[in-house]
Amino acid sequence: MAQEDSEKEEVENVEPETGKVSAAVPRRSIWSGSITIGLVNVPVNLFSMIYDKGIAFHFLHKIDGQPLKYVKMCTKDDKIVPWNEVTRGYEVSKNEYITLEKSELDAVKPESDNRIRISKFVDYFSVDPIYFDKTYALMPKKSKEAYTLLLRALEKKNKAGAGRITLRTKEYPALLHAYKGTLVLTILRYAYDVVNPQDFEDIQNLKEPEKTELDMAIKIIGDLAGDFDIAEFEDTYLKRVQELISQKVKGEKIHIEKPREVEAKSLMVALRETLKQLEQK
């Protein structure tokens, strides 16, 4: 939730000299703990570094323009089910469920021990990028000395620390490395969560191309070779929707009906009178 809020207020950072664009710095850390290497602890705060920018829409009622909400409905009688009557079911076989109470699930939750446990140091480029998930920025907490020491050592040796972290309720493999003079942590995917493309049938028994055709293709690649610049890319659909919105903002707006002042006022009068009566007792 906190992340959503900060995303809304977020503005882009543009470096004045280079014109390079980056996302705004988040205000709140999402995790706090220590990097542990053997007996050494480096206290750090973890911040989001990756955004998935999009435009959030709210569903409104076409007739009166008021916001809609989701309700849970029983599939048997279409009646709205209140939260205290909701439980979790796991489908064992078609239409057969076992139920799990929140307390039962809580009991098996992994406790985050607030540690990033580094077990060995590896060459950063030896890790296949296919396993890279989100990256987080680590900021020094309390003492900056231990942080700087670890950062400079990693830069010097050009190595990354491999280990694990528990975020919320899930344990992840993770890679600690130096990036732009900062310690960052990249969460990795588990091997069992990544498909081996060789397992697709479509890729089996490919016929090798003719040498002349291959030479031609290689030449085209050579001609189009260049340096990669991420700033060349932007979401054109997002941009068009933003333009559409700014046009509409100038025009007619739908207002959400806020409580009328009158109501707040008569409530205040009632509250003052009742509080006075209760005091007298």
Partner 1 sequence: MAEELKGLTKVDLKNLDKILYPDVKVTKGQFIEYYIRMAPKMLPIMKDRPLVLTRYPDGVKGEKLGFFEKNAPMGTPEWVKTKTIYSSASKRDVHYIVCNDLDTLIWLANLATLEIHMPFSTIDDLDKPDFLFFDIDPEPPATLSDAAEVSLQLKDKLVSLGLTPFIKTSGKKGFHVVIPIVPDLDFKETRAFVHEVGIDLAKENELVVSEFKDTKKPGKVFADYLQNSPMRTMVVPYSLRPTPEATVSAPLEWSEVKKGINPSDFNIFNEVKRKDDPWKIIFEKRCKLEI
The residue (of 195 and 278) whose beta carbon lies closer to partner 1 is 278
Kindly state whether residue 261 participates in binding partner 1, applying the rule CB under 8 A. Answer: yes
Measured CA to CA, the distance from residue 156 to residue 235 in angstroms comes to 37
Q: Could you give the 3-state DSSP secondary structure of residue 74? A: coil
Measured CA to CA, the distance from residue 221 to residue 230 in angstroms comes to 19
Q: Are 80 and 72 in contact (CB under 8 A)?
A: yes
Kindly state whether residue 268 participates in binding partner 1, applying the rule CB under 8 A. Answer: yes
Shortest Å distance, C-beta 63 to partner 1: 16
- DSSP-assigned beta bridge partners for residue 176: 161, 185
Kindly state whether residue 216 participates in binding partner 1, applying the rule CB under 8 A. Answer: no
Alpha-carbon distances of 228 from 30, 126, 225, rounded to whole Å: 32, 21, 9
Kindly state whether residue 169 participates in binding partner 1, applying the rule CB under 8 A. Answer: no
Kindly state whether residue 152 participates in binding partner 1, applying the rule CB under 8 A. Answer: no
Q: Are 88 and 99 in contact (CB under 8 A)?
A: yes
Measured at the CA of 246, the angle between CA 245 and CA 247, to 5 degrees, comes to 90
The residue (of 84 and 198) whose beta carbon lies closer to partner 1 is 84
Kindly state whether residue 264 participates in binding partner 1, applying the rule CB under 8 A. Answer: yes
Residue in the structure block whose two tokens are 């509250």:
271
The residues in 71-110 that bind partner 1, with binding defined as CB under 8 A, are: 79, 82-85
Shortest Å distance, C-beta 268 to partner 1: 6
Eight-class DSSP state of 60: B
Kindly state whether residue 273 participates in binding partner 1, applying the rule CB under 8 A. Answer: yes
Shortest Å distance, C-beta 267 to partner 1: 5
Shortest Å distance, C-beta 130 to partner 1: 40
Interface pattern 223-242 for partner 1 (x via CB under 8 A) = --------------------
Measured CA to CA, the distance from residue 168 to residue 26 in angstroms comes to 19
Residues near partner 1 (CB under 8 A): 79, 82-85, 257, 259-261, 263-268, 270-275, 277-278, 281
